[in-house]
């Protein structure tokens, strides 16, 4: 059909609702599996709270530099336990996951050190941090850090044969991006991370295995530090913030490496021993408590997005019969207008800013214009239902987050209706 064809609105909505709810019904066993996975993750959080004797006195924050802030120190210990790390630093002063990753890179690496990315080209916002784009901004390359990257196989997986060859050169750090980012590839499983770390440490025991852990927390039973990662970083407006933490990030891993990263965040001599919590300690802890359930809802929503679009003939990554290793679902829409139609539908289904019309625009740290649907209570939160895409072929949409799968259902129903109206889908004839 074409956009000009007359459409029966009532029949259109009924068809879209039947399509989405039908997929949801067929996925009920998978939904039960996601829900059952909440308990062991939540048990881990509760045990960490109990072992650290969490009390209401820890909700208060110190002002100023935040010296001797018992609440902050408890939060660090709780996150370390949950993430299986020697030490953790949870800081609202970290403005994003990219900031946390940059603090780790600049904190650990020195001029002349070798940095190797084993997951191909990193996420766009790290290109300027490394020095792959831009100039004279104080990137790693500006400071004399040497960078190489190992391309992924044609199917988007780690090339272990090539990795062995790349490890013939002494490396200070191996960078591993767990999530797919804006790439059309599978996200890395914990088992794959374990194999990477084992091979690296066997070849170069002193080499630091650093994992960008964004979007992967609580998706599998184990976390990267439990399988050999020396250092990890992530954002609190993603999985571990439970949809309610307003900002911040975390670093976790070996004690000396976390301290070095914190020396970059604050200053040498201060390191991990400062940083007020702005009286948000309770929110951070409550967000962590909610996180296992919120991650499960996001996974249920991702399953639904994949199932609906796959049935309509679109390519999706991962497909509905593949294991998930993060909360991101990619859909290849193949047309820039279709991309904007779906984002607009999701935005109109959002609790905040539903009246806004998502338009492609530039964004700091990104090479291409982005179109984003993010009517979230926390600005930029990707633990809440949201979607975004770089405006470049083949026009892949990346969907993530969600506090309840019913919200994703509402957004999908609207998106299908709008795709039909725009001529990208045919409404089945009913006579």
pLDDT per position as a tens digit, 232-285:
999 999 999 999 999 999 999 999 999 999 999 999 999 999 999 999 999 999
pLDDT for 86 beyond 50: yes
Distance CA 378, CA 299 (A): 20
Read off the pLDDT band of 2 (50, 70, 90). low
Read off the pLDDT band of 400 (50, 70, 90). very high
Q: Can you give the pLDDT at residue 4?
A: 46
Burial of 389 per CB tally in 10 Å (0-12, 13-18, 19+) = buried
pLDDT for 3 beyond 60: no
Q: Mind listing the domains of the chain with CATH numbers?
A: 9-38+293-421 (3.90.1150.60), 40-288 (3.40.640.10)
pLDDT for 350 beyond 70: yes
Of 252, 251, 301, whose CA–CA distance to 27 is shortest?
Answer: 301
Q: What are phi and psi of 371, to 5 degrees?
A: -115, 130
CA distances from 105 to 69, 252, 400 (A): 26, 13, 26
DSSP of 375-421: --SSTT-SSSSEEEEESSTT-EEEEE--S-HHHHHHHHHHHHHHHHH
Q: Are 131 and 141 in contact (CB under 8 A)?
A: yes
Instruction: Tell me the average pLDDT across 301-309.
Output: 98
The helix (run of H) or strand (run of E) holding residue 293 is: helix 281-311
Read off the pLDDT band of 330 (50, 70, 90). very high
Structure tokens belonging to residue 91: 């800081």
Q: Are 120 and 114 in contact (CB under 8 A)?
A: no
Per the listing, tokens 């990662």 go with: 229
Distance CA 214, CA 293 (A): 17
Residue-averaged pLDDT of the chain: 95
Q: Can you give the pLDDT at residue 6?
A: 75
Total Cβ atoms within 10 A of residue 110? 10
Asked if omega into 318 is within 30° of 0 (cis), the reply is: yes
Per the listing, tokens 């902050």 go with: 72
Instruction: Tell me the average pLDDT across 336-352.
Output: 96
Distance CA 20, CA 9 (A): 17
Q: What are phi and psi of 280, to 5 degrees?
A: -115, 15
Task: Please state, for a pLDDT cut of 90, what percent of the chain lies above it.
Answer: 90
Of 179, 241, 182, whose CA–CA distance to 379 is shortest?
Answer: 241
Of 95, 133, 120, 109, whose CA–CA distance to 177 is shortest?
Answer: 120
Total Cβ atoms within 10 A of residue 246? 17
Spatial CB neighbours of 15, under 8 Å, sequence gap ≥ 6: 416, 427, 428
DSSP of 306-352: HHHHHHTT-EEES-TTS--SSS-EEEE--SHHHHHHHHHHHHHTSSS
Q: What is the reported pTM?
A: 0.95
Q: Can you give the pLDDT at residue 363?
A: 82
Q: Are 342 and 333 in contact (CB under 8 A)?
A: yes
Q: Are 420 and 426 in contact (CB under 8 A)?
A: yes
Q: Can you give the pLDDT at residue 374?
A: 87
Task: Please state, for a pLDDT cut of 70, what percent of the chain lies above it.
Answer: 98
């Amino acid at each position: 059909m074409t956009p000009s064809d007359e459409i029966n609105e009532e029949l259109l909505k009924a068809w879209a609702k039947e399509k989405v709810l039908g997929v949801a019904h067929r996925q009920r066993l998978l939904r039960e599996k996601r829900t059952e996975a909440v308990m062991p993750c939540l048990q881990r959080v509760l045990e960490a709270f109990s072992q650290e004797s969490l009390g209401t006195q820890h909700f208060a924050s110190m002002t100023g530099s935040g010296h001797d802030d018992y609440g902050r120190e408890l939060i660090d210990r709780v996150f370390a336990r949950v993430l299986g790390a020697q030490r953790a630093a949870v800081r609202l002063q970290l403005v994003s996951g990219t900031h946390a990753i940059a603090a780790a890179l600049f904190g650990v690496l020195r001029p002349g050190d070798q940095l190797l990315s084993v997951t191909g080209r990193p996420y766009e916002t790290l290109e300027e941090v490394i020095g792959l784009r831009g100039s004279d901004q104080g990137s790693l390359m500006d400071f004399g850090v040497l960078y190489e990257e190992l391309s992924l196989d044609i199917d988007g997986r780690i090339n272990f044969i090539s990795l062995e060859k790349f490890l013939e050169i002494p490396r200070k750090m191996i960078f591993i991006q767990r999530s797919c980012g804006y790439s059309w590839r599978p996200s890395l499983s914990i088992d794959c991370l374990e194999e990477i770390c084992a091979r690296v440490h066997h070849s170069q025991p002193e080499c630091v295995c650093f994992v960008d852990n964004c979007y992967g927390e609580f998706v599998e039973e184990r976390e990267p530090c439990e399988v050999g990662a020396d250092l990890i970083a992530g954002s609190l407006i993603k999985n571990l913030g439970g949809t309610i933490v307003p900002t911040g990030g975390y670093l976790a891993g070996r004690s000396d490496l976390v301290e070095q990263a914190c020396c970059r965040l604050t200053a040498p001599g201060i390191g991990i021993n400062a940083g007020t919590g702005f009286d948000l300690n309770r929110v951070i802890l409550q967000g962590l408590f909610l996180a296992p359930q919120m991650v499960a809802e996001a996974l249920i929503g991702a399953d639904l997005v994949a199932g609906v679009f796959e049935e309509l003939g679109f390519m999706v990554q991962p497909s509905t019969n593949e294991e998930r290793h993060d909360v991101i679902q990619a859909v290849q829409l193949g047309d820039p207008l279709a991309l904007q139609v779906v984002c607009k539908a999701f935005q109109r289904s959002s609790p905040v800013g539903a009246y806004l019309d998502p338009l492609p625009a530039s964004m700091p740290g990104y090479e291409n214009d982005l179109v984003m649907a993010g009517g979230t209570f926390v600005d930029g939160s990707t633990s809440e239902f949201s979607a975004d895409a770089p405006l470049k072929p083949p026009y892949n949409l990346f969907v993530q987050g969600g506090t309840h799968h019913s919200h994703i259902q509402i957004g999908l129903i609207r998106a299908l209706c709008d795709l039909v109206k725009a001529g990208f889908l045919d409404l089945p004839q009913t006579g």
